[in-house]
Amino acid sequence: MKRFQSILLAPLLLLLASGSALLAFSYEDPADYPLMGDWQGEWVNAKKGHEKAHPAIAAQLLPVNGGTHYRVVILPELYNRAEPYLIAEVPATDQRVAVDEGGYEVVFSGTEVRGRAKLHGDSTEFVLRKVALDSPTVGLQPPAGATVLFDGSDYSSWMHGEAKPVTWDIVGSAMQTVTKHNQANRAQGLGGDLQSREKFGSMRLHLEFRYPVEAGKSGQGRSNSGLFLGAIGEVQILNSYTTPNYWNECGAFYKRIPAKVDAAGPPLEWQAYDVDIDLQVNGKAVVTVQLNGRILHHQMEMPCGAKELSIGLQDHINILQFRNIWLVEK
């Protein structure tokens, strides 16, 4: 009887072991989402409106609803406060996204598409081409004299609260959150926010991050994290690609000041925050924040009585990756 039980238990244990391995989080393969991201092009022979002189048109595509649909935003210009021509969520696959709404007809497939729309009452064609995210400071190396907080090798510059050792993963050359909101992780004491072991004065800070696709999630549940600037507060990290960028979305001083432009890039792309901080003697800090080379906050005065700041990274409800973190004190 015991031998029979062991024969039954063996495959069950194997299944459980493989099941736990399957539960381990890994980022999606960008090759599986060839249409996701930025598209840029022009109207063909526009006859009216500002498009006659400036015929630019763009689009952003993002898988939603578990990947059964794509959100398609067609707009005059990428990463600006431009009123969209169209926002639609359409049934789609990762190889074909067909739009036939609001007077717009276009099928996204491959790397270049041709569509048609009613532009100021006239039937007008447009062309769009797939483009990579333009983030000019991604990969920027620390200058001489910089303090390197993470170079891809270890967590010697970081700690959890109360000086506890870091329990996040290192995947390739990136740090990866181990969310404490997972009950199993919490039971093992894994996860939690990170804080730099040192504090710093006025500085120029560089940090790179990327988030997964998570097509089954939305809103604040999609790639939620944050960059904490000590007493100044949190600059939000969130997959708010294709959304209006409210005061709780990517680039905002969380629930205080929205970003001036929506610069959040598509999932799986490395993105870069560049932050300039001047700590003043009057209990304020002057802060400039750029995301992917675009200014979100320019010389913004923020309350801050501290003379030095720690740098923090939030381990919230999602798995994010960070790399190439360094700063130069002034």
Note the pLDDT tens digit of each residue in 8-44: 333 333 333 333 333 457 899 999 999 999 999 999 9
Specify the pLDDT at position 6. Answer: 35
The secondary element (H helix, E strand) that includes residue 23 is helix 2-23
Specify the pLDDT at position 22. Answer: 33
Q: Is 136 helix (H, G, I), strand (E, B) or coil?
A: coil
Task: Classify residue 105 by burial, with Cβ atoms within 10 Å: 0-12, 13-18, 19+.
Answer: middle
For residue 21, which phi and psi values (nearest 5 degrees)?
-65, -40
Using CA atoms, how far residue 21 sits from 18, 25, 26, 171, 181, in Å, is 5, 9, 11, 16, 19
Residue 16 per-residue DSSP state: H
- Distance (Å, whole) CA 249 – CA 254: 7
Strand partners, 325: 150
Q: Supply the pTM of this predicted model.
A: 0.90
**150-205 pLDDT, tens per residue?**
999 999 999 999 899 999 999 999 999 998 778 888 888 888 999 999 999 999 99
Specify the pLDDT at position 186. Answer: 81
With contact defined as beta carbons under 8 Å apart, do 196 and 311 qualify? yes
Structure tokens at 138: 């991604």
Q: Is 246 helix (H, G, I), strand (E, B) or coil?
A: coil
Backbone Cα Rg of the chain: 23
Specify the pLDDT at position 87. Answer: 97
Question: DSSP string of 178-218?
Answer: --TTSHHHHHTT----EEESS-BSSEEEEEEEE----TT--
Q: Is 236 helix (H, G, I), strand (E, B) or coil?
A: strand
Positions in the chain short of pLDDT 50: 1-23
